[in-house]
Chains A and B, each alone.
Chain A
Amino acid sequence: MTPETIFYAVGMPIIGVFLGLVYKGIDRRVSARMTSRIGPPIRQPFWDVGKLLLKETIVPANAVKWIFNAMPILALASSMTLLLYIPFGIIKAPLEGYGDLVVILYLLTLQALAMAIGGFASGSPFSSVGAQREMVLMMSYEMPFAIVITGFALIYKSFSLSTIASTPVWTIVGPLGGIGVFLLLIAFLLVTPAELAKLPFDIAEAETEIAEGMLAEYSGRNLALFYLSDAVRGFAMMAIEVVLFIPFTLSYLFGLNLSGATLYIVEGLWFLFKVLLFYVSAVTLVRTSFARFRIEQASRLFWVYVNIIGLLGLLLIWLEVM
């Protein structure tokens, strides 16, 4: 075990949780400003987690206790693992070479699945309805997501994120492929709120309909773990989007000649800024300007329209690569 491994094992989760919560705070603040409210301070999510950790954890009498308690840990672990597969700007992914985009797809699914299983295990009708909805929603949005990943695999002839990150996608495709990648970007942006269970696709956690759905019975430490895994997943998802669609570094854009610590700081901040851009446009803006869909409406949206967009993009890319 090298010092580097220990750093990644301990440091990455801490950084991931920190950044995830910061982005959550910014998201809430921006959303509040958009609806002419003042909004909570950026550090509010940290306080929320702190408070949840202090609260009593209640397990419902008719829940399957060990599944009910294990699922929050599984969810957090899967989102933490996710972080290790993503190259952050110029920093290489810690687990580079041990997995690729397909693993990321599975890890994202695993987290949602953990929540659904937790919902089924809690034995409340609201959680069951929520978990059913989550399953239906997952079946709907995984297909466009897979299409996007296939599109990239076609271009790069590889599923590896590091390969994709090393050369921006826009520089290696022609005009036809460019349109294709753009369509994939649209499909991916549409999948994002569903993947992160945000409005208008927070159907599985609809507050006014089924009282927070899958999370209805969760409280205290378990809820805090779900909250953290949600925050980390939000950050990781946006980081993937940045790596896939705008991996341009500052040095590349402006031909800067930076080295050493300056390089890492400047590029790190630039990367975080790009993540923020995606976060605000794909999550905050969307969740502030839409109402919640019904489950069958959301399913139709993904199965028909988003799939058409994605497949069209894939077709264009295929035409160019052939």
Chain B
Amino acid sequence: MAKTTYYVPIGPIHPALKEPIRVEAEVEGEKIVKVDVKRGFAHRGIEYMGMKRNAIQTLYLSERICGICSISHPYAFVIGSEKALGIEAPPRAQYIRPIIAELERIHSHILWIGVIAHEIGFDSLLFWTWKGREKVLDVLELITGNRINYAMYMIGGVRRDLKESHIKALRDMITYYWEFTEHMKEVFLSDPVYKARTRGVAQVPKDMALKLNLVGPTARAAGLRMDIRQDIPFDAYADMDVKAVVPQDIVGEVRGDAYDATMVRIYEIEQSLDIIEYCIDNLPEGRILAIPNYIALLNKIKKTAGEAIGAHEAPRGEVVHYLKYDGTRDGPSVWKVVAPSYNNINSWGYCLLGAEVADIPVVVAYIDPCLCCNDRVAVVRDSTGKMLDYSFIHKKAVEKTRALEKELGVRK
């Protein structure tokens, strides 16, 4: 009998993927009949590095976990650290932090919208949305000095204050984006081709979304009212009434597909604009750091023991940091990061089964995967599939170094 199915490997390197992951699909014609998702190509041992450094260094290391969420990880880190160490940020800092976090959400969501347009072959929209995204990056650069990796947060406050000129720029930006989101709604939500490519694609019903542990806009698109800013409010979010953006509130029905995910994200940009406006309108006066002296801060950390969980709603979903300070060193003795894509990738297998090859890029992109956040562990197996333990790998590495030294004649 002739072979009717093809084996199509997507990744680790593939144009639809911006970062390494592997999707192995068995394809019959255009239909996917079997699918397997394999992760674990981007383990960097960043938690281990963090546990060897002091808390301030680790805070800025946490910015480097993800290229786009360079505020979300530090935010969860400072929330967790402040809880564990019993430090409270001054009110002004508590209002500045959400501003930066929401600016990041705006730029991340616009970036995603451009990416999904590119994935369905609509490159003109990619250029257009990314041109619109420049404005928020300019504002971020004005406030923090960087377009990305802002180095803005500090345990117990923020490092830079908001000036009058910054507030003026923020207000300009808010007017600009109210217009821009209106355009985006027109261009994306009422475009027939966009609708044809995303309606019914990557559809996750509500119960399935719960079963797959989806988080963030992906879960909200499926109709789940979950948002860390609403459920476990912190900083200025507690003062305002943040409500999870769900499709049933916008159009009255939920389908949980890529089209709904687009809708949720566009409306979340508007929500972010509201939050920023609230924060700059009600910005309290005062200090921006609880302990301005970093040496004093590190000394306090060295003397304090405690553990806590810090959570923040990143643009992609909830990011959770677990921190434990044991009171003997000036950094966390345990640091554990859970990134939102780790949960959201669960949906790929479900969505891809029975989908078409043409839907792969949409399914892959609709959760806005951030794969470098994900991998927390690397597993090495031998040829028989047995997992090799750490001490064995270490022993082998030392043996190889000795052998190389001998071969090259290195003198000690």
The residues of A with any CB-CB pair to B shorter than 8 Å are 31, 34-37, 125-126, 128-129, 132-133, 199-200, 202-203, 206-212, 288-297
B6 adjacent to A128 (CB under 8 Å)? yes
B210 CB-CB contact with A under 8 Å: no
Given A125-B7, A129-B8, A199-B121, A207 and B15 touching (CB < 8 A)? Answer: yes
Known contacts A211-B15, A297-B196; is-contact A289 B360 (Cβ 8 Å): no
Q: Say how far A283's CB is from chain B's closest CB, in angstroms.
A: 14
Residues of B within 8 A of A296 (CB): 30, 356
Query: Can you name 14 extra interface pairs (CB under 8 A) apart from A129-B27, A210-B357?
Result: A126-B8, A200-B193, A207-B15, A208-B118, A208-B121, A211-B15, A291-B117, A291-B197, A292-B197, A293-B196, A294-B196, A294-B358, A294-B359, A296-B356
Tell me whether A200 and B121 are in contact (CB under 8 A).
yes
With A207-B15, A211-B15 already in contact, the answer to whether A289 and B124 are too (CB < 8 A) is yes
A291 and B120 contact, CB distance less than 8 A: yes
Query: Do A34 and B358 have beta carbons less than 8 Å apart?
Result: no
Residue B194, interface by CB 8 Å: yes
Q: Which of B103-131 contact A (CB under 8 A)?
A: 117-125, 127-128, 131
B128 contact set on A, CB distance < 8 A: 35-36
* Residue pair B27, A125 in contact (C-beta under 8 Å): yes
Q: How many A-B residue pairs have CB under 8 A?
A: 83
Tell me the bound Cα distance from A126 to B358 in angstroms: 12
Contact assessment for B193 and A209 in the assembled complex, using a CB-CB cutoff below 8 Å: no
For A291, list chain B residues within 8 Å (CB): 117, 120-122, 125, 191, 193-194, 197
- Interface pairs (19), CB distance under 8 Å: A31-B124, A35-B123, A35-B128, A37-B127, A129-B8, A129-B357, A199-B121, A206-B121, A206-B358, A207-B15, A208-B15, A209-B16, A211-B14, A289-B124, A290-B122, A291-B125, A292-B358, A294-B356, A296-B356
**Closest chain B CB from A131 CB (angstroms):** 11
Write out the residue numbers on chain B whose beta carbons fall within 8 Å of the beta carbon of A199.
121
Cα of A122 to Cα of B405 in the assembled complex, Å: 45
- Whether B20 is near chain A, meaning CB under 8 Å from some CB there, is no
Question: Complex: how many Å from CA A294 to CA B29?
Answer: 13
Shortest Cβ-Cβ A-B pairs, 3 listed: A292-B121, A291-B122, A35-B127
Q: Is the CB of A132 within 8 A of B29?
A: yes
Chain A residue nearest to B128 (CB atoms) is: A35
Q: Which residue of A lies closest to B359 (CB)?
A: A294
Q: Which residue of A lies closest to B194 (CB)?
A: A291
Given contacts A35-B128, A125-B8, contact A292 B120 (CB under 8 A): yes
- Contacts A132-B29, A206-B358; A125 near B124 (Cβ below 8 A): no
Q: How far is the CB of A310 from chain B (nearest CB, A)?
A: 21
Please give, as numbers and ranges, the residues of chain A lying within 8 Å of B6 by CB-CB distance: 125, 128-129
| Chain A residues near B292 (CB-CB < 8 A) | none
Question: Of the candidates A36, A210, A212, A297, which one forms a contact with B127 in the assembled complex, judged by CB atoms under 8 Å apart?
Answer: A36
Contact yes or no, B16 A129, CB < 8 A: no
Report if B12 contacts A (CB, 8 A).
no
The number of residues on chain B lying at the interface, defined by a beta carbon within 8 Å of a beta carbon of chain A, is: 33
| Contact assessment for A208 and B16 in the assembled complex, using a CB-CB cutoff below 8 Å | yes
Question: Per DSSP, are chain A's interface residues mostly helix, strand or loop, or mixed?
Answer: helix
User: Which A residues are CB-close (under 8 A) to B127?
Assistant: 35-37
Q: Which residues of B contact A200 (CB under 8 A)?
A: 121, 193
Is B9 on the interface with A (CB-CB < 8 A)? yes
Q: In the complex, are the beta carbons of B193 and A290 less than 8 A apart?
A: yes
Question: When the two chains form their complex, are residues A294 and B197 in contact, meaning their CB atoms are under 8 A apart?
Answer: yes
B356 surroundings in chain A (CB, below 8 A): 294-296
With a CB–CB cut-off of 8 A, which chain B residues contact A128? 6
* B1-35 interface bits toward A, Cβ cutoff 8 Å, 1 = contact, 0 = none: 00000111100001110000000000101100000
B124 and A35 within 8 A (CB) = yes
Residue among B9, B117, B119 facing the most chain A CB atoms (10 A cut-off): B119
Shortest CB distance A41–B (Å): 19
Is B361 an interface residue, CB under 8 A from the partner?
yes
B9 to chain A, nearest CB (A): 7
Please name all residues of chain A whose beta carbon is closer than 8 Å to the beta carbon of B359 when the two chains form the complex: 294
Q: Provide the bound-state CA to CA distance between A207 and B121, in Å.
A: 8
Is A125 touching B121 in the complex (CB atoms < 8 A)?
Answer: no
Residues of A within 8 A of B8 (CB): 125-126, 129, 210
CB neighbours (8 Å) of B14 from chain A are: 211
Please determine whether B122 and A209 come into contact, CB atoms closer than 8 angstroms: no
Q: How far is the CA of A206 from the CA of B131 in the complex (A)?
A: 24
Contacts of B177-196 to chain A: CB distance below 8 A? 191, 193-194, 196
Give the distance in Å from the alpha carbon of A294 to the alpha carbon of B119 in the complex. 12
Task: Check if A293 sits within 8 Å of B193, measured CB to CB.
Answer: yes
- Residue of B with least CB distance to A130: B357
Chain A, residue nearest B6 (CB): A125
Contacts of A212 in B (CB 8 A): 15
User: How many whole Å from A130's CB to the nearest CB in chain B?
Assistant: 10
Chain A residues within 8 Å of B16, by CB:
208-209
Q: Which of B6, B16, B120 has the most CB of A within 10 A?
A: B120
Chain B residues closer than 8 Å to A206, beta-carbon distance: 121, 358
CA–CA, A267 and B157, complex, Å? 74
Contacting residue for A202 out of B15, B117, B121, CB 8 A: B121
Task: Report the Cα distance A5→B360, complex, angstroms.
Answer: 52
Name the CB-closest residue of B to A291. B122
Task: Give the nearest-CB partner of B17 in chain A.
Answer: A208
